[in-house]
Chain A
Amino acid sequence: MSRVSTLLARETALAWGKGGGPMVAVGFYAGVATLLPLAVGSEPERLAAIAPGAAWVALALAALLSLDRLFERDYEDGSLDLLTLSPVPLEIICAIKCLAQWLATGLPLALAAPVAAIALGASPQLSGLVVACALLGGLAFSFMGGIGAALSLGARRGGLLTAVIVLPLFVPPVIFGGGALASLEAGLPWSAGFALLGAYAAAAVALGPLAMAAACRNALS
């Protein structure tokens, strides 16, 4: 257990510090949210119609941004080789890395999400669900994104490749989360979309590390 907590502390510290971490992700998120009204026009009624969905898509993009730091750094300086030698299974190590990623970027982004949604004109009553969706969705983004990050280890232009691999995997959480938010805004029951988002996040947390570990072993072989 102490190995796991030590590893989690290391990964979280790395994800928080050193040229990246929450400030960059939130800054990118704010940037995308700022570009949006500039692109579609600032009429409140037009913006309000797309606000929850736009905030949600910006979240997915912001989650994408920090993925290439997930394995790449450890792969390049050899830490990943050492980590595979540890008694902790590589699957658990990958899960811890994604969890740390979620703590360092998913959590701050979830707190920033309602601010962006309200600034774009979404009703403040949505805020609770926006945070909940962003937390669950961030989990799915981290664990699904980790697969793409692990697969593109050692590739030329890995960052771009990660995005191409990962965006199709982001489709279901984006649909479910966006659907839940749109239903709540329309005054319809939103629990179905939210439950499906939770199911997808749970499946990503359970199955994602298997694929990630296989991909890491392949890259190191």
Chain B
Amino acid sequence: MIPAPAFLSNPERFMAFSRWAAPLFGAIAVVLAIAGLWLAFAAPEDYQQGDTVRIMFIHVPAAWMSMFVYACLGVASFLSLVFRHALADAAAQAAAPLGAAFTALALITGSLWGRPMWGAWWVWDARMTSVLVLFLFYVAYMALRAALDDEAKAARAGAILALVGVVNLPIVKFSVDWWNSLHQGASVFRADGPTVADVFLYPLLLMALAYMSAFGSLWLVRIRGEVWRRRAEALALRAARA
């Protein structure tokens, strides 16, 4: 994990790497998503939930990604705050809207799943509420960056806020244990092995990998766009001075 940012911290190397890595990850994501969705629709109906169990293959990876992307945002913010690295800041800025999109997807599909299962679009249980709070953190991060005109100041203020928000991640993960609730307990990452049947587990993991690759691809594309935008701004500034 640590060598990767060190290798990519050189902007030239990053641009050369991301030029082919972004489309490659995108292609991998498409292949994995097709395979995952194929298996998801081939899987038998759940004995309790019927067809609605298939929402899981969209919903659960999105919920995982909502937390994973925030972790990426936290690491990138830390690197940008400590080393003042412009690329790390571009990475943090690029990750936030993607994370917000995954979180929104998790909330929306969860709501669509909750209606047939629990009879309610929304239930105020601990885990759902903390995912909602995670979404609010993404919104606050983006609002803060948008409100500060000075880019260097916006970068550092955003990084501080992102690190404050990292405190929220453990609460999301462990809130299930803190409060007993309507929501399903953790059933994949358990010390005694997953309790999900294999026919459901394999498409779920495929979809999770597909989401991960899609995020990798989109993240790289967005960072590249941010780098180009900053270069264009610097060139425009130089042209205006001349």
Chain A interface residues toward B at CB < 8 A = 147, 151-152, 154-158, 161, 164-165, 167-169, 171-172, 211, 214-215, 218-219, 221
A155:B147 contact, CB within 8 angstroms: yes
Q: A12 to nearest B CB, angstroms?
A: 26
Q: Which residues from chain A contact B150 at a C-beta distance below 8 Å? A: 154
B interface residues, tally (CB under 8 Å)? 24
* Selected contact of A151 from candidates B129, B130, B157, CB within 8 Å: B157
Q: Which residues from chain B contact A172 at a C-beta distance below 8 Å? A: 171
Q: Which residues from chain B contact A155 at a C-beta distance below 8 Å? A: 144, 147-148
A157:B147 contact, CB within 8 angstroms: yes
B140 proximal to A (CB < 8 A): yes
A218:B160 contact, CB within 8 angstroms: yes
B160:A168 contact, CB within 8 angstroms: no
Known contacts A152-B144, A155-B148, A171-B133, A165 near B153 by CB under 8 Å: no
Nearest chain B residue, comparing its CB with the CB of A215: B160
Known contacts A168-B136, A169-B164, A214-B160, A161 near B143 by CB under 8 Å: yes
B236 proximal to A (CB < 8 A): no
Chain B interface residues toward A at CB < 8 A = 129-130, 133, 136-137, 139-140, 143-144, 147-150, 152-153, 156-157, 160-161, 163-165, 168, 171
Nearest chain A residue, comparing its CB with the CB of B141: A165
Known contacts A155-B148, A156-B147, A171-B133, A215 near B140 by CB under 8 Å: no
A218:B153 contact, CB within 8 angstroms: yes
* Selected contact of B157 from candidates A157, A168, A171, A215, CB within 8 Å: A215
Q: A138 to nearest B CB, angstroms?
A: 19
Nearest chain A residue, comparing its CB with the CB of B150: A154
A211:B164 contact, CB within 8 angstroms: yes
A219:B144 contact, CB within 8 angstroms: no
Query: Given the complex of chains A and B, what is the CA–CA distance between A198 and B163 in angstroms?
Result: 22
B161:A165 contact, CB within 8 angstroms: yes
Known contacts A211-B164, A218-B160, A168 near B133 by CB under 8 Å: yes
Query: 9 A-B Cβ contacts within 8 A?
Result: A154-B150, A155-B144, A156-B147, A156-B149, A161-B147, A164-B139, A211-B160, A211-B163, A218-B157
Most chain-B CB neighbours within 10 Å: which of A155, A219, A221? A155
Nearest chain B residue, comparing its CB with the CB of A163: B140
Query: Given the complex of chains A and B, what is the CA–CA distance between A144 and B156 in angstroms?
Result: 18
Query: Given the complex of chains A and B, what is the CA–CA distance between A168 and B140 in angstroms?
Result: 9
Q: A208 to nearest B CB, angstroms?
A: 9
Query: Given the complex of chains A and B, what is the CA–CA distance between A219 and B148 in angstroms?
Result: 10
Nearest chain B residue, comparing its CB with the CB of A196: B178
Query: Given the complex of chains A and B, what is the CA–CA distance between A221 and B150 in angstroms?
Result: 11
Nearest chain B residue, comparing its CB with the CB of A220: B153
A151:B161 contact, CB within 8 angstroms: yes
Q: Which residues from chain B contact A158 at a C-beta distance below 8 Å? A: 147
Query: Given the complex of chains A and B, what is the CA–CA distance between A221 and B152 in angstroms?
Result: 10
Query: Given the complex of chains A and B, what is the CA–CA distance between A221 and B155 in angstroms?
Result: 13
